[in-house]
Chains A and B, each alone.
Chain A
Amino acid sequence: MRSGVIRRARAGIAALVLAGLVVAPWVVDDYTTAILARTLALALVGVSVALLTGVAGMPTLGQTAPYAAGAYACAVVGSRISDVGVVQLVVAAGAGALLAAITVPLVVHARGVIVLMITLAIGELVVIVLGRWRSVTGGTDGLAGIPAVRPFWGLPALANDQARYLYALVVVATLIGAVLLLLRTRAGLVLRAGRDDETRLRASGHRVPLHLSGAHIAAGAIAGAAGSLLVVAQQYISPADFGFDTSALLLLGVVIGGTASVGGALVGAALVIAARDWLFGVLPGHAPLVLGALFVATVYLLPTGVNQARGRLRPAQAPAPQPAAAEQATVAEVRR
């Protein structure tokens, strides 16, 4: 009964936020609209981080790698082959999934903080490759002058910031809807169960590495699709867009929002990214200092938010946090 009320309240808030996002470009100026579009792309990467960190229990600092792969694939396709958004989106998601698939052997056997370490190394190495592979990526100068996207064959090209923002909003809303539906299926349940008690899930005959690989590739595809939205929003990309600080910011956002919930991750990632962009505007040169202090303060002030990030990081004997009690039941549900 009560959970029904909460669910309805949540749905109401989500609808309000969505409505606000739809009318936003007519309320704010073009510059803010462009920033909002970029924030949407990053929030979608945040969803892929939440999927891995909170749902599958693989804390990651390297989702900028498939994000970058998707963005560069989209930029190359966009400037040389096709300006159709659907094509670019599929290519970008494919590139993200491909990179994630290549790195699967590196991450699925590791657990906890080792995953953080390996994914961080992968993300950094991808940025190095982007900076040096000049013939394809344009090196540290990046790729500029990418033509405006047309969403579908026969439709006009998106000529202004508002149109590009709305395109990004439609794509992000659709993909998040798909992720939410997917998480309700058995696959989502198995992932959560593996996070909570891997030994029991293995004992009941589930192949955990297979599920984790699937989640890793799916998260890579989502991050890749987000990369194509960044290209649409900026029409310019460089390795600087995919630095380690972006990964850390996304993880912080996801942790603030509560890693186990996709909605929370979205809000958290959007908040943190918006705070960063705003800080860089008002405090030129000193933003990293304030941002670093923000990280430290968040860790101290939001222990509950951080503690929700369970992903096999806590020692097994530590008490479970209260809100997660319902999710502890997932192992039993899967077995039934």
Chain B
Amino acid sequence: MIAVAAGTNRIDPYLIPALDGVAYGLLVFVAASGLVFCFGVANILNLAHGLLYAIGGYTAAALLDGGWVSLALALGVGVLAAAAAGVLLAGLLTPIATGNHLSQALLTFGVALAGGSLLVAGFGPDDPQVQVPAALEGSVVVAGHRYAAYRLVFIVVAAVLAAALYLVVRRTRAGMLVRAAVDDPEMVACLGVSPAWIRAGVLAAAGALAGAAGVLGAPIIGPGTDTADTVLLLSLVVVVLGGLGSMAGTLLAALAIGEIQTLGVALMPSAAPFLLFAAMAAVLAVRARGLAGRWSAA
């Protein structure tokens, strides 16, 4: 009995960071899945993806006032604004759609640079505070620990979102087209689906996902001058680690990154900066050829 009690005591201090890691990981998953679609389906390396998240985050900061209505409003506006930005991006990309990835990367980076500067000009250089609904501001007791209610609700909502995403990609015609476009874009074009429409649709969907993540995740990765960079980096690492086309791989990679960023920091504060690097290197060192093979085939 004593040994068991000692065991739980040793695990106990890490329960909260581990739970935080799940919240962080699910947030990164929702944000990164947009980038995965973009890259996998439309074959675009969208360096403005972090900007789409930041749009959601700033919307949350501007509209949330502690009530549920404002949360619904912020979610609606944030998703629409980020999806519209995605469509705009698709329009900008149209003239160079047949060009190479290098020009697409430079174009999307230019948009990210200009858009980020506009956001800062509109909302000011200070990181804004985000106010969650009053009912969620308190904390609840989880296994004897106090835990922020908002994060617990976020975990549930993000899990539902992830499950819905999975079902849409697996079961609907749109999802089938998306998966087919990853494997064989020319065949999908033969089916009479215009690549331009697929590109616009995918960028809009990616924007909507990033916008939703930005609004809901604002209390976790808040809006600020380096938000876009952070989210882009985390999403890129998820794509690199998770491989393409596999939702499960993306989810696993996102959760791993969440745990590294929270539990890893709690366990090894001094090594924290290197952990993300080390994880990426380790996975790629073991699976480099496999991942690269999958990618170059797409």
Are A and B bound to each other?
yes
Residues of A within 8 A of B (CB): 53, 59, 61, 102-103, 105-106, 109-114, 116-118, 120-122, 124-125, 128-129, 131-133, 244-245, 248, 251-252, 255, 285-286, 288-289, 291-296, 298-300, 303, 306-307, 309-311, 313-314, 318
Q: Are A132 and B100 in contact (CB under 8 A)?
A: no
B102 CB within 8 Å of chain A? yes
Q: Are A112 and B296 in contact (CB under 8 A)?
A: yes
Task: Please report whether the interface of chain B is mostly helix, strand, loop or mixed according to DSSP.
Answer: helix
B77-109 near A? 1/0 per residue, CB < 8 Å: 000000000000000100110111111011101
Q: Are B110 and A300 in contact (CB under 8 A)?
A: no
Task: Please report whether the interface of chain A is mostly helix, strand, loop or mixed according to DSSP.
Answer: helix
Once bound together, how far apart are the Cα atoms of A286 and B113, in whole Å? 11
Q: Are A294 and B236 in contact (CB under 8 A)?
A: no
B66 CB within 8 Å of chain A? no
Q: Which of A120, A128, A292, A314 contacts B111 (CB 8 A)?
A: A292
Q: Which of B106, B111, B288 contacts A306 (CB 8 A)?
A: B106
Residues of B within 8 A of A (CB-CB), count: 47
B295 CB within 8 Å of chain A? yes
In the complex, what's the smallest C-beta–C-beta distance from A56 to chain B, in angstroms? 14
Q: Which of B105, B110, B229 contacts A61 (CB 8 A)?
A: B105
A-B contact count (CB 8 A): 152
B272 CB within 8 Å of chain A? yes
Q: Are B106 and A248 in contact (CB under 8 A)?
A: yes
B112 CB within 8 Å of chain A? yes
Q: Are A105 and B106 in contact (CB under 8 A)?
A: no
B253 CB within 8 Å of chain A? no
- Give the nearest-CB partner of A118 in chain B: B240
In the complex, what's the smallest C-beta–C-beta distance from B98 to chain A, in angstroms? 8
Residues of B within 8 A of A (CB): 39, 45, 47, 92, 95-96, 98-103, 105-107, 109-118, 121, 229, 233, 236-237, 239-240, 272-274, 276-277, 280-281, 284-285, 288-289, 291-292, 295-296
- 18 extra interface residue pairs, beta carbon distance < 8 Å, beyond A111-B295, A121-B233, A124-B233: A59-B102, A105-B284, A109-B288, A111-B296, A113-B101, A125-B276, A129-B277, A245-B113, A248-B113, A289-B114, A291-B110, A295-B109, A295-B111, A295-B113, A296-B111, A299-B106, A306-B99, A309-B103
In the complex, what's the smallest C-beta–C-beta distance from B113 to chain A, in angstroms? 3
Given the known A-B contacts A109-B289, A117-B236, are A296 and B107 also in contact in the complex, defined by CB atoms under 8 Å? yes
Q: Are B106 and A252 in contact (CB under 8 A)?
A: yes
Report the 5 A-B pairs with minimum CB-CB distance, sorted nearest first: A295-B110, A292-B114, A292-B113, A313-B100, A113-B101
